[in-house]
Amino acid sequence: MYPNRAGGAAAYARVGVESDVLSASPHRLITLLFEGADKAIRSAGVHMRDGNKAEKGKAISKALDIVNRGLLAALDRERGGELAERMALLYDYIARLLLKANLHDDAAALEEARHLLGELGSAWREIDTDGK
């Protein structure tokens, strides 16, 4: 009997992501958070268009978790000063957009959150502290 290809591919992908996370620098970890948020928001948009409220809610919850427990939590407010405080306010705004998108099936709010995170992620990648 042959293994389930879809299951094998998913397991392989999980191992790849886990390996990337375990070997990543702090800068790369933040990049991965931005990428994960983008993927979750894109998924939420697809589910919103399809009318699949449960999956839309799961995807938005994942994006919210990344914003609140990943990106926001990673801010060093002590050393970051005013910039970190402004970033915290922006992440709070993005979280509110995601909640609005979820509660009201607001595709524009979802897209605005994705756009803002995309801009921040792009700026973050430009920093390139890893020297790559």
Residue 20 lies in a domain: no
Residue 30 maps to which CATH number? 1.20.120.340
Residue 5 lies in a domain: no
Q: What is the mean pLDDT of residues 67-95?
A: 96
Find all residues with CB under 8 Å of 80, minimum gap 6, and list them: 87
- Owning domain of residue 71: 25-127
Residue 132 lies in a domain: no
Torsion of CA 14, 46, 58, 73, to 10 degrees: 70
User: Is 0.85 topped by the overall pTM?
Assistant: no
Residue 63 lies in a domain: yes
- Residue range 102-132, pLDDT digits in tens: 999 999 999 999 999 999 999 999 987 655 5
Residue 104 lies in a domain: yes
- Residue range 29-79, pLDDT digits in tens: 999 999 999 999 999 999 999 999 999 999 999 999 999 999 999 999 999
Number of compact structural domains in the chain: 1
